[in-house]
Amino acid sequence: MLAAGTFSNKTFFITGAGTGIGKAFALRAAALGATVALGGRREDPLRETSAEIAEAGGQSLICPIDIRNPDDVDATIARVVAETGHIDVLINNAAGNFVARAEDISPRGWNAVINTVLNGTAYCTLAAGKHMLNQRSGKVLSISAAYAWHGGPGTAHSAAAKAGVIAMSKSLAVEWGPRNVQVNCLCPGFVDTPQSRTALWPTVEGQQHILGSIPAGRFGTIEETIEAGLFLCSPAADYINGEVLVIDGGQWLNKGAFVLPEPGHRYDKV
């Protein structure tokens, strides 16, 4: 566990901060002393997250944003810097995805995932990175997935986007490292949340199939995921750069745990 005050006087910008893992990142970063800029397309969830942070004594900014729009990204990052004086940590958490057979993915569906996961991450990273480079310090953490390199059924579009995020992160780590900006990725496995229970293992059979592929024999928790990610954002990780940290109980070593739906059936992946 990170020590109290680890992120005192630090400003975080977190995309997808209104729900799920993004919200958990925001709450925990604020609890550790950060001022958290909450990014997301829907304002109501951001306000709920902000209210929880305020109730716990923390500070936050509500930043409605469409990360697919580079002008919107630039303006939002500029606002965060203007209001807080700096930006120290960027967490690229926002994503869009669905599981589908490759032959069923339309150009529109392909672009929807690429524009959010790869392009949106790039726009945020480059916009925040300029400020970090000017202040000669900063950390970028992008959420990816292990199937970006080992592949997986139903993930052609998402795997391509997330592989691009990893390649970009490694390249920026080399380019920006000499100027004291570290760029890393976190690859969570199957995390037990209400959303994942509905979308990823809606049946007992599906749940057991996934669990059977995880050497740890259980799903991950949000707390484990968040703590590992925030470690990479902390001063303790100043010498970690260009890393891809997988936190999935060893499941990626077994690969192929996910079962495709029957043709014609699709559901959202969270």
Which residues participate in catalysis according to the annotation?
A: 147
Sort strands 11-15 and 35-40 into parallel, antiparallel or unpaired.
parallel
Q: What does DSSP assign to residue 120?
A: I
Question: How far is 142 from 128, CA to CA, in rounded Å?
Answer: 13
Amino acid symbol at 4: A
DSSP assigned state of 246: E
Burial of 123 by CB count in 10 Å (0-12 exposed, 13-18 middle, 19+ buried)? buried
* Residue whose pair of structure tokens reads 């690429």 in the numeric block: 114
Six-digit token pair at 160?
Answer: 């391509």
Residue with tokens 């020590």: 3
Rounded distance between C-alpha atoms, residue 27 and residue 172, angstroms: 28
The backbone region for 56, taken as left when phi is positive above 0, alpha when psi lies in -120 to 50, beta otherwise, is: alpha
Whole-angstrom Cα distance, residue 178 to residue 182?
A: 9
CA-to-CA distance for 137 and 134, rounded, in angstroms? 8
**Tokens of residue 20, six digits:** 């799920």
98-99 and 267-268 as β-strands: parallel, antiparallel, unpaired?
antiparallel
